[in-house]
């Protein structure tokens, strides 16, 4: 039997979350045997044949037009990120994947300069698979102070924030509402998979988490698509205690697959004071490293 593939499983998951009343239909039939809408109901709403929509879910049809995809998106009440995800999955279904092991991601000098420019706030740079490509000392101290500060410098040892979130006890204790953070990360990871369906390292990460984390399995099965743009989180930090930060994701112009994550606090708040204390502690503990976590060069006189 043909596997439905990413496109089919996404359609099934979005169909399952809707009820007839959600889309203006009356449920007059016998006892429902499926969660959510039936295939024929989605086909009716989208204006396509039941057999065609069924083949699309089963992975047997790969030529859906933009008009058909738009109609299905409206029928399933997809929001803008979900619609973009649907289009990417449909595009990926039209070609045979070429699995090639990608080269390690590199941090451009301009991005490193940008990281140094935001020295006053915790900041990290994440790659397409949420590998930590760089962090400043305050970002390291706030989010992963128990790990090696210089770990991101070696591609073979780079921490991965999704792996840490699900498999490292430190992160479970760090986020007061861990489930909220985990749901956001998985929703963003779905977007990455849609953009890079042929990335074997991304597939390996998902496979590892599927084997090791039941929580990841449950969230991944929901097929939530949600960009991590800005969200507030309450942290219980082992050094400075309670601190609430807003994590904002900024795109890197010359490296579209990379993102700069900055953590801000309201001016004059107790959280701002907590970060100031953390910065002082961090500076005291790392006298031989600059704020970007790179060893200082000796002073030169000209």
CB 100 within 8 A of CB 198: yes
Q: What is the CA radius of gyration of the chain?
A: 23
Whole-model pTM: value is 0.78
Reported for 196-201, long-range contacts at CB under 8 A and 24+ positions apart, including other chains, are: 196/128, 196/257, 197/6, 197/88, 197/89, 197/92, 197/97, 198/92, 198/97, 198/98, 198/99, 198/100, 199/102, 199/128, 199/129, 200/99, 200/100, 200/101, 200/102, 201/101, 201/102, 201/129
> pLDDT above 90 covers what percent of the chain?
46
Q: How confident is the model at residue 91 (pLDDT cuts 50, 70, 90)?
A: confident
Residue 10 pLDDT grade (very low, low, confident, very high; cuts 50, 70, 90): confident
Contact in structure between 72 and 82 (CB atoms under 8 Å):
no
| pLDDT digits 0-9 by tens, 12-39 | 888 888 888 888 877 655 566 676 888 8
| Whether the Cβ atoms of residue 243 and residue 275 lie closer than 8 Å to each other | yes
What distance in Å separates the CA atoms of residue 270 and residue 288, rounded to the nearest whole number? 29
Q: What is the pLDDT of residue 263?
A: 96
Rounded to whole angstroms, the Cα distance separating 263 from 272 reads 11
Tokens of 49: 């044949």
Fold of 109-285: Beta-Lactamase (3.30.450)
pLDDT (mean) for 268-295: 76
- Write phi, then psi, for 130 (nearest 5 degrees): 65, 25
Phi-psi domain of 5 (left: phi exceeds 0; alpha: psi -120 through 50; beta: other): left
Domain 109-285 in the same topology as domain 5-93: no
For range 268-286, the mean pLDDT: 89
For residue 206, give the nearest of 164, 162, 155 by alpha carbon: 162
- For the cut 50, the answer to whether the pLDDT of residue 1 exceeds it is no
Q: Could you report how far apart the first and last alpha carbons of the chain are, in Å? A: 73
| Per-residue confidence (pLDDT) for residue 284, from 0 to 100 | 74
Report the SS3 class of residue 128. Answer: coil
Write out pLDDT tens, residues 211-252: 999 999 999 988 888 887 889 999 999 999 999 999 999 988
The CATH T-level fold of domain 5-93 is 434 Repressor (Amino-terminal Domain) (1.10.260)
Nearest to 175 by CA among 232, 248, 131: 232
Give the integer Cα–Cα distance in Å for 276 and 142.
Answer: 11
Enumerate long-range contacts of 94-102, CB under 8 Å, 24 or more apart. Answer: 94/62, 94/63, 97/197, 97/198, 98/198, 99/198, 99/200, 100/198, 100/200, 101/200, 101/201, 102/199, 102/200, 102/201
Residue 301: φ, ψ to 5°:
-115, 135
Each domain of the chain, given as residue ranges in start order, spans 5-93, 109-285
């Amino acid at each position: 039997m043909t596997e439905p593939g990413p496109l089919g499983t996404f359609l099934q998951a979005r169909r399952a979350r809707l009820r007839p009343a959600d889309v203006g239909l009356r449920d007059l039939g016998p006892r429902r045997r499926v969660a959510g809408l039936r295939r024929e109901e989605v086909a009716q709403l989208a204006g396509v044949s039941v057999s065609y929509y069924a083949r699309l879910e089963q992975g047997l049809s790969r030529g859906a037009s933009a008009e058909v995809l738009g109609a299905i998106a409206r029928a399933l009440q997809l929001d803008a990120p979900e619609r973009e995800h649907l289009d990417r999955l449909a595009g990926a279904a039209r070609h045979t994947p070429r699995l090639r092991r990608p080269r390690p991601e590199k941090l451009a000098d301009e991005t490193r300069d940008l990281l140094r420019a935001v020295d006053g706030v915790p900041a990290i740079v994440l790659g397409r698979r949420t590998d930590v490509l760089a962090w400043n000392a305050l970002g390291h101290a706030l989010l992963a102070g128990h790990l090696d500060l210089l770990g991101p410098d070696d591609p073979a040892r780079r921490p991965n924030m999704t792996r840490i979130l699900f498999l490292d006890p430190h992160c479970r204790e760090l986020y007061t509402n861990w489930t909220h953070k985990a749901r956001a990360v998985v929703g963003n990871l779905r977007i990455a998979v849609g953009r890079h369906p042929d990335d074997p390292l991304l597939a390996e990460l998902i496979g590892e988490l599927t084997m090791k984390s039941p929580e990841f399995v449950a969230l991944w099965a929901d097929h939530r698509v949600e960009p991590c743009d800005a969200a507030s989180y309450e942290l219980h930090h082992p050094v400075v205690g309670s601190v609430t930060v807003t994590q904002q994701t900024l795109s890197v112009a010359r490296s579209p697959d990379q993102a700069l994550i900055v953590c801000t606090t309201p001016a004059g708040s107790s959280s701002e004071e907590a970060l100031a204390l953390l910065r002082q502690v961090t500076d005291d503990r790392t006298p031989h490293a600059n704020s970007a976590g790179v060893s200082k060069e000796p002073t030169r006189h000209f």
